[in-house]
Amino acid sequence: DAGVTQSPTHLIKTRGQQVTLRCSPKSGHDTVSWYQQALGQGPQFIFQYYEEEERQRGNFPDRFSGHQFPNYSSELNVNALLLGDSALYLCASSLRGRGVHEQYFGPGTRLTVT
Amino acid sequence: EDKVVQSPLSLVVHEGDTVTLNCSYEVTNFRSLLWYKQEKKAPTFLFMLTSSGIEKKSGRLSSILDKKELFSILNITATQTGDSAVYLCAGSGNTGKLIFGQGTTLQVKP
């Protein structure tokens, strides 16, 4: 049973550039949530997708956007990158029918902005 | 504003010791409390607690929730070096968004 997968593993970008991160949920899951984890901190909720729509959003600017595809996979896009966007980006999947609370995380994408 | 606070922030113990990690929460329309173990990257799911006073156990790990006092504890007995990790606690309201604490870094020395 495949778990949550994310790509790429690492990414280095320059300030002002744009980045796209990808996530495939655990088999059978239909909801994807994205989190940003700065060094030494707990993950912070960015947004959540279900049925190809953004359902919840945390306190992140519009530079952060996302998408969910019919196969439940998801993308996170960040425009106009800032140094402060350097972090580990985690994707979590869950099954809405069982409640979206039990979330399983992927290995993350480490983004470094220089 | 929703908030989850963990204590202590870091802990150093020796193999065989028992540790207790604390998590207090203030989450609107609270539904569940989750514990994760994070070693390198992916937080690994440990427990989800929804009912007060019912202990959940998995091997040497156990956890309990007190919805009246708004806290949870995670116990690890007979610690091993492989238990060294960051332990994250997260609260969830009725939206399913997880609000994480800052984590407790546990180091188990041989």
* pLDDT tens string A14-31: 999 999 999 999 998 999
Report the pLDDT averaged over residues B85-107: 94
- DSSP E strand stretches across B29-84: 32-38, 43-49, 56-58, 61-66, 71-76
Mean pLDDT of chain A: 93
> What pLDDT does B101 receive?
97
User: What pLDDT was estimated at residue A74?
Assistant: 98
Nearest to A33 by CA among B66, B102, B34: B34
CB atoms near residue B55 (< 10 Å): 12
- Please check whether residue A66 touches B, CB under 8 A: no
CB contact under 8 A, B45 and A56: no
Q: How far apart are CA B37 and CA B45, in angstroms?
A: 7
**B43 burial via Cβ count (<10 Å: 0-12, 13-18, 19+):** buried
How confident is residue B17, by pLDDT bands cut at 50, 70 and 90?
very high
Contact A17, A11 (CB under 8 A): no
Q: Higher pLDDT residue, A100 or B36?
A: B36
Confidence of residue A98 (pLDDT cuts 50, 70, 90): low
| Residues in A touching B32 (Cβ below 8 Å) | 99, 101-102
Show the domains of chain B with their CATH numbers: 3-109 (2.60.40.10)
A107 lies within 8 A of chain B by CB? yes
Residues in chain B: 110
What is the pLDDT, as a whole number, of residue A9?
95
Q: Domain A5-113's class?
A: mainly beta
Amino acid at B10: S
The residue in chain B having the minimum alpha-carbon distance to the alpha carbon of residue A9 is B41
Edge-first strand listing for the sheet containing A64-68: A5-7, A19-24, A74-78, A64-68
**Nearest Cα to Cα of residue A90 among B7, B40, B105:** B40
pLDDT of A100 higher than 70? no
| Domain assignments of chain A as residue spans, ordered by start | 5-113
Question: How many CB pairs below 8 A link A and B?
Answer: 74
CA distance B57 to B46: 9
Give the pLDDT score at A64: 98
- B25 with B102: CB under 8 angstroms? no
| Residue A7, both tokens | 């790509």
User: Band of the pLDDT at A4, cuts 50, 70, 90?
Assistant: very high
Per-residue pLDDT band for A102 (boundaries 50, 70, 90) equals confident
pLDDT of residue A1: 62
A7 touching chain B per CB within 8 A: no
- C-beta atoms of A42 and B97 within 8 A: no
pLDDT (average), residues B96-105: 94
The pair of three-digit structure tokens given for residue A77, joined into one six-digit string: 């896009």
DSSP lists the bridge partners of residue A71 as none
Q: Is A43 on the interface with B (CB under 8 A)?
A: yes
